[in-house]
Amino acid sequence: MELGEPQRVQALVQSGLSHLPSQYIQPPESQPSARRRPSESGVPVVDLFHFDPNRSDDLRQQVWQLCHEWGAFQVVNHGVPRRLLDEIRTVGFSFFNSPMPEKLKYNCDGSGAATEGYGSRMLTKDDGVLDWRDYFDHHTFPLSRRNPTRWPDSPPNYREVVTEYSECMKVLAQKLLRIISEGLSLPCSFIEEAVGEVYQNITISYYPPCPQPELALGLQAHSDMGAITLLVQDEVEGLEVLKDGEWVTVQPLSDAIVVILADQTEIISNGEYISAQHRAIVNAHQPRLSVATFYDPSKARKISPASELVTEYSPLRYHGVMYGDYVSAWYSKGPEGKRNIDALLVHH
Q: Which residues are at the interface with ligand AKG (CB under 6 A)?
A: 203, 205, 219, 224, 231, 233, 238-239, 278, 280, 290, 292
- Report the C-alpha gap between 191 and 227 in whole angstroms: 8
Q: List the single partner that 205 binds among Fe ion, ligand AKG, none, CB under 5 to 8 Å by kind.
A: ligand AKG
Count CA atoms within 13 Å of residue 337 on its CB side. 10
Nearer to Fe ion (CB atom), residue 202 or residue 309: 202
Q: List the single partner that 233 binds among Fe ion, ligand AKG, none, CB under 5 to 8 Å by kind.
A: ligand AKG
For residue 27, the minimal CB distance to ligand AKG (Å) is 20
For residue 238, the minimal CB distance to ligand AKG (Å) is 6
Scanning 151-159, 168-176, 224-232, 264-272 for contacts with Fe ion by CB under 5 A, the matching segment is 224-232
Q: List the single partner that 203 binds among Fe ion, ligand AKG, none, CB under 5 to 8 Å by kind.
A: ligand AKG
Nearer to Fe ion (CB atom), residue 224 or residue 272: 224
Residue nearest to ligand AKG (CB): 290
State whether the Cα torsion 220-33-286-10 is positive or negative.
positive
- Report the C-alpha gap between 154 and 158 in whole angstroms: 6
For residue 159, the minimal CB distance to ligand AKG (Å) is 21
Q: List the single partner that 293 binds among ligand AKG, Fe ion, none, CB under 5 to 8 Å by kind.
A: none
**Contact with Fe ion (CB under 5 A): which of 131, 224, 266, 272?**
224
For residue 193, the minimal CB distance to Fe ion (Å) is 24
For residue 226, the minimal CB distance to Fe ion (Å) is 10
For residue 137, the minimal CB distance to Fe ion (Å) is 12
Chain contacts with Fe ion (rule: CB under 5 A): 224
